[in-house]
Amino acid sequence: MDSKDHEVKTQTVFRTLGSCEIGIPNPCGFIIFGASGDLTRRKIIPSFYRLQKNRLLPERFFILGTSRTEMGADQFREKMLSAVKEAFPGDFDEACWKEFAPLLHYSPIRYDFQESYGKSLRENLIQLEKKYQTGGNRTFYLALPPSLYEPVILNLGAINLSQEGRAHTHVVIEKPFGRDLDSARRLNQVLKHSFKETEIFRIDHYLALETVQNILMFRFANSIFEPLWNRRYIDHVQITVSETLGIEQRAGYYEEAGILRDMFQNHMFQLLALTAMEPPAVFAADPVRDEKVKVFRSIRPFPLDRFNECVAIGQYGKGKINQQPVPGYREEAGVSEKTTIPTFAAMKVLIDNWRWNGIPFYLRSGKRLSRRKTEISIHFRPVPHLMFSNTLNEPIEPNTLVLRVHPDEGMDLILQTKNSGSRVCLNPISMNFSYQKDVLMDAYEWVLLNCLSDDQLLFVREDGVEQTWALLTPVIEKLESLTSAEKFPNYASGSSGPEEADLLIKRDGREWRPL
């Protein structure tokens, strides 16, 4: 192949979106394994369509979909057109689609058959790279069940698709990354045979939500908050991820995972790390991820002989969501009648370092709860001296800072003020900021753009993955050995969760923020 066909300019081009300048990635080919699957339809292709609409994709760019399904490029484009129209029913742009559709290509493959990679995938890939002059830059996205990660990665390495004639190659891996510490380590070892750590992008799309990205800015760019962000002024922290949905035809996956593998090992612990970490020397991928790993290493191991002091689990039963009856978890299609898989968990986490010694972080996440909400609430200590004790009949509520992660992205600072028209009557008010009108890109658009731009800030590193699994694997194994089928279900759909979760925090004299 002529080297001139691979000549790529590396000078960064910026595009203005809203009031922000966003860098345009270098030319690249994007290869999706699992292109006929649900994730490609719901997230990946609609996100690329929006990036194209906002002129954030490089001029020399193509998408090559591949899966076991036999179909041609035109049929693939028709399926993706339907997916984009479904994703943006009131905002579909025919002119944008006509520009975007020619970038979509398709090649069937057998994931476990090495010859399929050489004969079908490589030939198509080389032709497309020459046509679009992408310089051999490649991003492989594994939109696949976890059981297929290993054969795909090994076959990419075996025929040298991960290394040959390119400026860079990336591999993007969806969660769950392993199911315990041993499997996560094995997958990391498999990856390292074919890719460098700087080429591996382990996705946690929560890290790309606007409020999550803003946590570090909010903490470290405002001098009024960072001096208060420690054990002297904060009483405790709550992190909540609640869903009204059930398992939604994902019984096969959920019966293997459960809430701790599905939510805590990645989303919950990442939110915890961003809230608790020390300021990095510079705002860049590795310094930020260094500080997050330090948090994970500082988390006190859970006392396995006193589980009720630190962990509570649950499984939803029948109930009502938005006044409509819904089945219990054991009544969902594909779920065992005596399953002990938890759909809810709450944890008390202690961080043994200088900043947070003695300050509990309460984490909870569950399905079929009364409200869909993801938030981080920072509960400050009460005032040191109540000089109003002779005139107030009730205690003053401490100040609370609430970072609303999803769906209403923004923040609230709850303060106490004097009620108008009274001598001494306090009234809590909320200073509110919302991103609702300002969110320019959703989480998947951000992670795709950052991956193409070779920016790993929003992605999880090898040591971070293994450290969180090291913390949670003993807990999961102990729970699986102890939990009996008779224990579940222990909370009704549409409730705030099981009583055990309330006891976990009430035992310390505190309460959960209402859902």
What tokens does 380 get? 């400050």
Going by C-alpha positions, the residue among 203, 221, 234 that lies closest to residue 376 is 234
Domain co-membership, 212 together with 129: no
Alpha-carbon torsion, ordered 248, 253, 255, 257, to 10 deg: -120
Domain co-membership, 278 together with 426: yes
| CATH number of the domain to which 405 belongs | 3.30.360.10
Residue 174: pLDDT above 90? no
What sections of 54-116 are H helices per DSSP? 73-87, 94-100, 114-116
Residue 451: pLDDT above 50? yes
313 bridge partner residues? 345
pLDDT of res. 175: 82
> Of 105, 267, 379, 406, which is the active-site residue?
267
Q: Is residue 222 part of a domain?
A: yes
- E strands along 116-221, which residues? 138-142, 169-173, 200-203
Mean pLDDT over residues 463-492, rounded? 94
Among 153, 174, 195, where does a domain finish? 174
pLDDT of res. 408: 83
Task: For residue 70, give its domain range.
Answer: 3-174
Residue 7: pLDDT above 50? no
What tokens does 119 get? 């004969």
pLDDT of res. 486: 93
pLDDT in tens, 277-297: 999 999 899 999 999 999 999
* pLDDT-based confidence at residue 308 (cuts at 50, 70, 90): confident
Where is pLDDT greater, at 225 or 292? 292
- Report the number of distinct structural domains present in the chain: 2
Q: Is residue 198 part of a domain?
A: no
Residue 18: pLDDT above 70? no
Domain co-membership, 403 together with 485: yes
Q: Per this entry, what is the length of the chain?
A: 515
Residue 8: pLDDT above 50? no
Containing 134, the helix (H) or strand (E) segment is: none
Distances (CA, A) of 263 to 91, 188, 257: 31, 20, 9
Residue 440 near residue 17, CB atoms below 8 Å: yes
d(C-alpha 405, C-alpha 240), whole Å: 10
pLDDT of res. 147: 86
What tokens does 30 get? 């994007």
Residue 159: pLDDT above 60? yes
Provide, rounded to the nearest whole percent, the portion of the chain with pLDDT above 70.
91
DSSP letters of 336-351?
Answer: -TT----SEEEEEEEB
CA-angle at 94, arms to 91 and 99, nearest 5°: 120
Residues sharing a CB contact under 8 Å with residue 129, sequence separation 6 or more, in sequence order: 5, 6, 29, 135, 136
Residues sharing a CB contact under 8 Å with residue 509, sequence separation 6 or more, in sequence order: none
pLDDT of res. 213: 81
Query: One-letter amino acid identity for 192?
Result: K
Q: Is residue 499 part of a domain?
A: yes
pLDDT of res. 165: 56
Domain co-membership, 217 together with 308: yes
Residue bearing tokens 């020399």: 60
Domain co-membership, 475 together with 364: yes
Using DSSP's 3-state secondary structure scheme, residue 248 falls into coil
Domain co-membership, 270 together with 413: yes
pLDDT of res. 265: 93
Containing 405, the helix (H) or strand (E) segment is: strand 400-406
Among 174, 191, 217, where does a domain finish? 174
Percent of the chain as helix, strand, coil, to the nearest 5:
40, 25, 40
Going by C-alpha positions, the residue among 60, 54, 59 that lies closest to residue 20 is 54
φ, ψ of residue 430 in degrees (nearest 5): -120, 120
Domain co-membership, 141 together with 252: no
Lowest mean pLDDT, pick from 229-233, 236-240, 395-399, 409-413: 395-399
Residue 109 near residue 120, CB atoms below 8 Å: yes
Average pLDDT of the chain to the nearest whole number: 89
Domain co-membership, 226 together with 115: no
Per-position b or e across 438-470, b if 16+ CB within 10 A of its CB: eebbbbbbbbbbbbbbbbbbbbbbbbbbbbbbb
d(C-alpha 165, C-alpha 3), whole Å: 10
pTM, rounded to two decimals: 0.90
pLDDT in tens, 70-119: 999 999 999 999 999 999 988 899 999 999 999 999 999 999 888 888 87
Q: Would you call 267 a catalytic residue per the annotation?
A: yes
What tokens does 72 get? 């041609």
Going by C-alpha positions, the residue among 26, 36, 23 that lies closest to residue 6 is 26
Using DSSP's 3-state secondary structure scheme, residue 469 falls into helix
pLDDT of res. 490: 94
Domain co-membership, 401 together with 349: yes
Q: Is residue 218 part of a domain?
A: yes
Q: Is residue 182 part of a domain?
A: no
Crossing angle of the two packed helices 285-298 and 462-482, in degrees rounded to 10: 30
Domain co-membership, 329 together with 462: yes
Mean pLDDT over residues 51-67, rounded? 94
d(C-alpha 392, C-alpha 410), whole Å: 32
pLDDT in tens, 118-152: 878 888 999 999 999 998 899 999 999 888 999 99
Residue 188 near residue 466, CB atoms below 8 Å: yes
Containing 370, the helix (H) or strand (E) segment is: none
| CATH number of the domain to which 46 belongs | 3.40.50.720
Residue bearing tokens 């006891």: 503
492 bridge partner residues? 317
pLDDT in tens, 233-253: 999 999 999 999 999 888 888
Domain co-membership, 165 together with 221: no
* pLDDT-based confidence at residue 6 (cuts at 50, 70, 90): very low
Domain co-membership, 227 together with 166: no
Lowest mean pLDDT, pick from 2-16, 195-209, 479-493: 2-16
Query: One-letter amino acid identity for 510?
Result: R
Q: Is residue 147 part of a domain?
A: yes
Residue 9: pLDDT above 50? no
- For the beta carbon of residue 323, count every other beta carbon within 10 angstroms: 6
Among 174, 198, 230, where does a domain finish? 174
